[in-house]
Amino acid sequence: MWRPRRLTRPQLEERRLAAVPMLEARRPLPEIAAELGVHRHTVEKWSMKYNHGGPDALKRTVSSGRPPRLTPEQEQQLLDALALGCAHHGFPAEQWTMKRVCVVVERLFGVKYHVDGLRPKMRALGLTPQKPTKRAIERDDEQIETFAKETLPEIKKSRS
């Protein structure tokens, strides 16, 4: 019944709460463990929690984790600041790098990020790395288009 390798937090809670009627019916712990696909020691822990706090003790808790270093408002301010461009922030070339973004974050919010730590945040905000296309300064798009439409077909005809 409960056999997937990875369960989500709501699924884990559902599995624990499925054990409540069995614990109340005083079924043997190994039997409960076999039915729910967990180890007997796990059911013992659930039983102890249930005895001390009732069914609420088996409900899921909020995963604390480290609090975010930037608030959602600050993230939006960062997006607005990046939209102003590199020149606005005193960088010579108009190309955002992760180092430059780190500098802007530190200037605006006083929060230091390592390049590798900020990269997932930028991806979550919808910004992905872009490589600029390399083109010659002397490139003339009109001349290229004219060549492709007029001269190239003539060259191909004369070849055959």
What is the per-residue pLDDT across 14-32, written as a single tens digit (0 to 9) for each?
999 999 999 999 999 999 9
Clarify whether residues 78 and 107 are in a common domain.
yes
Q: For position 20, what pLDDT does the model report? A: 94
Clarify whether residues 24 and 49 are in a common domain.
yes
Number of Cβ within 10 Å of residue 69's Cβ equals: 14
Please report whether residue 37 resides in a domain.
Answer: yes
Q: Comparing C-alpha atoms, which of 67, 69, 64 is closest to residue 118?
A: 69
Q: What is the mean pLDDT of residues 121-137?
A: 84
Number of structural domains in the chain: 2
Domain residues for the domain of 89 are: 72-124
Clarify whether residues 53 and 78 are in a common domain.
no
137 pLDDT band (50/70/90 cuts)? confident
Please report whether residue 65 resides in a domain.
Answer: no
Q: For position 60, what pLDDT does the model report? A: 86
Q: What is the mean pLDDT of residues 78-91?
A: 94
- pLDDT at residue 160 is higher than 80: no
Please report whether residue 42 resides in a domain.
Answer: yes
Please report whether residue 117 resides in a domain.
Answer: yes
Please report whether residue 67 resides in a domain.
Answer: no
User: What distances in angstroms separate CA 160 from CA 24, 87, 108, 157, one per listed residue?
Assistant: 90, 53, 65, 6
